[in-house]
Amino acid sequence: MNRFRSTLAAALVAICLAGCGLTAPRSNDGYADLDSLGLFDVDNVMTLSIGPALLRFAASQTDDDPETQALLRNLDGVRIRIYEIDGDASRVAGRVDAMGTRLQGQGWEPVAVLRDADETVHMLMKPVHDENGRRVAGLTVLVADREEAVVVNVMGDLKPELFTDTMAALDVDVTPDIQVASVAP
């Protein structure tokens, strides 16, 4: 009976959090329905889901950085999963490839795909067409190497030009040849 009460309490808290904007919304056009990377090959070491309420709060706290503030205001959710690979890394890489392929079948467009002996990377965007034309509603990045796998799903009205400015404002070291492509209407 005690286990039932704690399970019920956890379920009620999850429902309340999902409804109040603290967690990333499943109903968003940019939500990526992501598969598991395998129970026997990975250990989930972190799962984070941030919804619009927390993102708006974060935007209000970045007064000295207008680019980051604009980016955060346009976001509806961010989901991050980090896995430690303790099994067959090539099997995990195959699952990452399959996940990328499945997302493409759901309308996600590949931005970049990298496969080599030590790393698999998929970057996909979800374009949507509405009364304002074509826009980017989601960005998903899937990465697996020999030791770790990371899955990131960003949802909202994404403006690619803000990513470059934000990366520079946050002093993220990137290769100068890498640029974020803009989406044509």
Mean pLDDT over the full length of the chain: 77
Q: What is the pLDDT of residue 95?
A: 92
Q: What is the DSSP letter of 20?
A: T
Please give the pLDDT value at position 118.
Answer: 87
Percent pLDDT > 90 in the chain is: 33
**Looking at the predicted structure, is the pLDDT value of residue 64 above 80?**
no
Alpha-carbon span 77 to 20, nearest angstrom: 12
CA-CA distance, 35 to 40, in Å (whole number)? 14
Asked whether the CA dihedral 162, 175, 55, 102 is positive or negative, the reply is positive
Q: pLDDT value at position 50?
A: 87
Q: Is the pLDDT of residue 97 over 60?
A: yes
Helix segments in the chain, DSSP class H: 2-19, 52-60, 66-74, 89-105, 160-169
CA distance 129 to 136: 9
Mean pLDDT of 68-78: 85
Overall average pLDDT of the 21-34 stretch: 78
Amino acid 165: pLDDT: 55
Beta bridge partners of 130: 133
Could you give the angle at which helices 52-60 and 66-74 cross, rounded to 10 degrees?
170
Among 92, 98, 101, residue whose Cα is nearest residue 144? 92
pLDDT for 168 equals 54
Structure tokens at 120: 């698999």
Q: What is the pLDDT of residue 3?
A: 53
- Write out pLDDT tens, residues 176-185: 333 344 444 4
